Structure 1
């Protein structure tokens, strides 16, 4: 037992020090019979000092097109929330890549920030297409990407926030029920918003992906998984995060109910004093001014400090499930 613990420690240590920074590349998954092209960002271990890179409104600590350092590395895929982008969780991606994971995040075509701004978003279709987007992204990374030889296809994990969390639950085997789904409206709790018309209710088919061996899920819209029957097929380890205050239609009580309805007890964390958007990366000054609803936190809540702890715990979870768990 002591020898095994030593090997676990050594493997984790090697992952942690194998790179000095996160390599960064932007690429596109080609359109195919499964769906349209997918814009994606990849972070990977890099043996060079980090640089400051401006990408969209964000400044990233990374190295552009750095040769990937390492071999047979775990892969983590990231799914943003409604109106987000592949950069919405870049600090978490950087932390994982710095520690030896290949990390890739995409823009979901149906409900990303660009589609929303151009009035091309299809919010209901996204519920069906999102899991398929992630499956296609995993297919690409392990079969066609330039770095496929460095990725261990048996060690795939997933992180998703809000609708991204919903996406992960479906990929893990959940079957949602949208009959009680409400449309977005001015009520931030969502409780007084009108229900969607019966003829518009998404009915699948729901894409599951057994290649994903561990899920970190943050503040998912849990009301579309109303009971244990919707979740009974999930057998994959889950680290579940909920904000104490909720928001944007996500109710803390519904996330708590989800934790109790999952077949296997999740690693469940409730973040004190946090609102729904606390899981998003820290906003640069221009974004903080233009989007206070998603950038401003409650009195006394330090998003940067929370993310340091959050990223460390997400990293520890994926190490346990995708690194330590495979040792003999």
Structure 2
């Protein structure tokens, strides 16, 4: 009887061990301090310490604050947030990447973040790609993470304005003057991408004044036609989520310099696909990849966790449209994004 029990138990134990797989590492959270020229860099990473519920701004995260880093797959992914953005709204994507062994770094973009949103748009877009490069440098200098990484093949993910950064790093060329030209041609149809959170069109008698004022400011500020471009040879794979893209020379994106994936949202009323992501796809397919298209997703669909209690214009921008099933859609999009980086960054 003992012999039978042992023989029965042993294969069952092996099967259970196989199905359960290795224990999931906690997600560590640390910050590389700001410098005289750059904001802080938030880092998520595999950690051997236990995670605890932790509040950051209005978000509760399950992380090991200053937890001991452990070796993962040796690769880094840099995430560029949207205008006025924060690292916390990309925590679920970071969790998916950390589970796969990646270290994830999120630079705070100067004058276009949740603490200081004084200068979004083309001025920020000009600075962001170099800020991503300096974030890679900062992680590479940090004694906690440098021994765990090889920085010859880095991944980069950007959403919204961060998607603009992603397209720049993929080889895209753009200029402030091209932004002006787009807004002069399609101001009413793509109003929010041209003016941001300042105001909106309501169909009322003030709309004409709003459009006149917007064109006056845009025409004055964004006349520089000098092409903006930035190359970092360490970046080997890029994902652009609902990117701002109307000001790019699409010929420059016809053959991305590295593997490029796109995520689109059909109900995005902020960066309307026909002016932005659809134009990129038309230019780069089949040399780029459509990672995910969300038929019912809006502009904020990739923010996970989403900011709670949003109202007014920012609520219109980021809250979910009717019919969007965030609980089922976002985990699958994050899985596909992680698989894209696995494919292009790992041996």
Deviation at 1:22, TM superposition (A): 0.6
Task: Say which is worse superposed, 300-309 or 210-219, in terms of deviation.
Answer: 300-309
What's the counterpart of residue 194 of structure 1? 215
2:301 aligned to which of 278, 287, 298: 278
Match of 1:296 in 2: 319
Which of 220, 238, 260 is the matching residue for 1:238?
260
Relative to 1, partners in 2 of residues 1:145 and 1:134: Cα closer, same or farther, differing over 3 Å?
farther
Contact 2:32–2:138, Cα closer than 8 Å, also in 1: no
Distance 1:150 1:68 in 2: 8
Question: Does structure 2 conserve the Cα–Cα contact (< 8 Å) formed by 1:19 and 1:47?
Answer: no
Structure 1 residues 17, 314: closer, same or farther in 2, change over 3 A?
farther
2:145 and 2:55 map into 1 onto residues whose CA distance is 24
Alpha-carbon deviation of 1:164? 0.3
Contact 2:72–2:101 under 8 Å retained in 1: no
Residue 253 of structure 1 deviates from its aligned partner by: 5.2
Look at both structures and tell me which one has the larger radius of gyration over its CA atoms. Answer: 2
Note the alpha carbon deviations across 1:66-85, whole angstroms, 9 max, x for none: 11111661100000111112
Q: Deviations over 1:205-230 (max 9, x none)?
A: 532212110011101112112432x3
In the other structure, the counterpart of 2:29 is 24
**Deviations for 1:269-288, whole angstroms, at most 9, x for unmatched residues?**
32111111111123354x44
Measured at CA, do residues 233 and 266 of structure 1 come closer, stay the same or move farther in structure 2, by a change above 3 Å?
closer
Separation in 1 of the partners of 2:72 and 2:303?
A: 30
The answer for the alignment partner of 2:191 in structure 1 is none
**Whole-angstrom distance in 2 between the partners of 1:166 and 1:178:** 13
1:316 alignment partner in structure 2: 339
User: 2:78 & 2:317 partners in 1: Cα distance?
Assistant: 23
Structure 1 position 267 matched with structure 2 position 289: yes
Q: Distance in 2 between matches of 1:160 and 1:171?
A: 10
- Structure 2 Cα separation of the partners of residues 205 and 265 of structure 1: 22
1-structure distance, mates of 2:299, 2:140: 33
Structure 1 residues 275 and 199, CA gap change in structure 2 (3 angstroms): closer
What is the deviation of 1:113?
2.0
| 1:122 positional shift | 4.8
Q: Deviations over 1:16-58 (max 9, x none)?
A: 9474211111222423xxxx23222110011344321111111
Residues 253-278 of structure 1, C-alpha deviations (whole Å, 9 max, x = no match): 53122112127522213211111111
RMSD between aligned alpha carbons? 2.5
Shift of 1:310: 1.0
Cα pair 1:223 1:254 within 8 Å, conserved: yes
Aligned-partner Cα distance in 2 for 1:252–1:145: 45
Distance 1:154 1:18 in 2: 29
Partner of 1:6: none
Distance in 2 (alpha carbons) for counterparts of 1:267 and 1:205: 24
Alignment-derived partner of residue 255 in structure 1: 277
> Structure 1 pair 273/207, CA: closer, same or farther in 2 (3 Å)?
same
- Unpaired stretches in structure 1, ≥5 consecutive residues: 1-12
Partner of 1:134: 132
TM-score by length of 2: 0.78
TM-score by length of 1: 0.82
Q: 1:204: Cα distance to partner?
A: 5.4
